[in-house]
Structure 1
């Protein structure tokens, strides 16, 4: 198994997180045409900005599983806050079905450390 450590000037790390989060009231938003694709694009944009490597993202009708690899400077709460805020604002602007929702995502989420994971697992 290939282990990809992340190197910075002062750290060597291997931090993988598994996140699960849901839309408000567990609405089945991912049945809306093109929403899943756009959501994944937005997550990719934000993760590139934050220097987070996406290992896998899977969207079910009413929740998201996301595996990421990040640097130690980012906490799980920072990651969720930034991704949820960014995607909520843009998706509610771009999709009329979501525009009346005051919040797209719940405030809660599940996070767990994940050992060495790959997109096949």
Structure 2
């Protein structure tokens, strides 16, 4: 099962909310290289600190981003990805004029999946265990 240190506390809630996001630049252009790749990592780290989120893993490939992030239960996936895409687009396009040639930095699409330290199958088995509800 989960280790107690994995859980976080906020107000009167104990939680573990992890999202895995994947998104791509417009037209899947391979623009996330060199100084742009370095800068996007800095932007993401600064945003995560500001919002109180923990980046668990980050891959910046030339044509896509993989982000595994732990957030508060009040932060919906849509708002989390919007923050990362919006902040990075604003600063990268401001600092790297070559990105202004693109109509927008990111596509409006993204992939999201939830994750924790326990598989869905383990949770289902725990809930369906006949000894679980015994008095």
TM-score (normalised: structure 1)? 0.89
CA distance in 1, matches of 2:36, 2:51: 22
Alignment RMSD (CA, Å): 1.6
1:12 is aligned to 14
TM-score (normalised: structure 2)? 0.80
CA distance in 2, matches of 1:50, 1:108: 22
Deviation at 1:50, TM superposition (A): 1.2
1:14-93 to 2 correspondence within 5 Å? 14-31=16-33, 33-93=34-94
Q: Which of the two has greater helix per residue? A: 2
Q: Select the structure of larger CA radius of gyration.
A: 2
- Unaligned regions of 5+ residues in structure 1, if any? none
Question: Does structure 2 conserve the Cα–Cα contact (< 8 Å) formed by 1:39 and 1:91?
Answer: yes
Count residues with an aligned counterpart.
116
CA distance in 2, matches of 1:102, 1:46: 24
CA distance in 1, matches of 2:61, 2:21: 13
Q: 1:59-104, CA deviations, whole angstroms, 9 ceiling, x for partnerless residues? A: 1110010000010010000001111111001000101210222310
Equivalent position SS for 2:32: helix
Equivalent position SS for 1:30: coil
Question: Does structure 2 conserve the Cα–Cα contact (< 8 Å) formed by 1:21 and 1:65?
Answer: yes
